[in-house]
Structure 1
Amino acid sequence: MQIKTRFLISTLLVGAALAACGDDPEAPPPGTVELSWLVGTSGCAQSEVETVAVLLSGEGATNVRNFDCADGGAVIEGLEPGSYSAILEGLDEDSIARFGGESASISVRSGGISTVPTIRLEALPAEVEVSWYFENGRLCGSNGVEDVLVTFFRDEMAYRTESGPCEGEILIIDEVPANTYIVDVVGRDDRGVALFNGQDELTVGRGESADIEIRLSTVDSVSTRN
């Protein structure tokens, strides 16, 4: 039997509050927070979001509860008066966070109801770990490579470019919007001249953590000069 989570969370938190009040007869009456949300521009179903996880923190306590996305909101009772913040994540059927939003300052009044302005959940970006190797192994110094230049191409346009030391062997690129990219890695010498190059295609979804390994081959112009 399925129980609506908005009632379940209320029961749990009210129970905790009543227990606390029993221990301290001078404790002020708890407060209530009303939350509502919108998911992207397409709503829960088309965005494939089934659950909204609500993390409400403040006054030395953190509450995490899940709600059906289609409910559109939640009522959280039994909160100690004070200042809170809320972080919302839209989860798919595999409980992967695909959308997110937050409200930084929520004032909970004793015995009162605090209504939070509707929180818009936006698509979460992906994080990509890029690594590389040469035809003869992973030794950058032996190949004369000082650093690498990593570029994400989309529709033949450079969308994002980052650089880092070659010896690090990986470069983490965050805040990558969901899409399909050509990931291009250039190995450069200490003058910034490209000696090696490699690329591959990568598709990332909302909120995903992905990795891609690129094989670096000698740049044609370098072979010609040598």
Structure 2
Amino acid sequence: MIDLYYWPTGNGLKVGILLEELGLEYRLLPVNIREGEQKQASFQRISANGRIPAIVDHRTETPLSLFESGAILNYLADSAGQFLPPAGSAARQKVQEWLFWQVGHITPYLSQLQLFKEKAPEPIPFALDLLNAEATRLYGVLEQRLAEVPYVAGEYSVADMAIFPWIQPLRQGQALADYPHIQAWRLRIKARPAVQRAYAKGLEVAPGERSLALQ
């Protein structure tokens, strides 16, 4: 059994998608970040950074706890031998390249854009101009890649699962009509039963979360 400490944000959803794709038995343990539950000492003993998602894998002789979504995706896919090519292969490095791109660029910039657009008490033009420009650049990088391959690393992988929940064009000031390859990629992923199950479980936990809108 795997415990998933979770809230249905972009980072929470990516791990939920992988668990559904792998068909692993897991228990969903909501951590309501809107109420500050991630700051509780009991959760921070599992996630030292005080952020979701985190897992505890009880299948190991000594339960293993992990935080950081990229590390969790790598661990689960590696242990299952799915959605992550073998160690040492060029294909694996390509998956890692795009997974690290998501962790290092997509989440930081798009989450900040959403924050300034949706939460700031008044518009801050400098921040909005900078973040809107970076969002457009990142969408362009993804569009160019998907013009070459059906999935970011060639085959469907944890890299796609990591990026997909963060591509929320209406929240990020982007028009999907400008990105036909992203649009086609999103439709392919949205059609996957595991993705639909992951989003359905998210809606059960927090139906009002904006990240759950499959635009």
TM-score normalised by L of structure 1? 0.21
Which fold has the larger relative contact order, with Cα–Cα distance below 8 Å and residues 6 or more apart in sequence? 2
TM-score (norm 2): 0.21
Larger radius of gyration: 1
Q: Give the structure with the higher percent strand.
A: 1
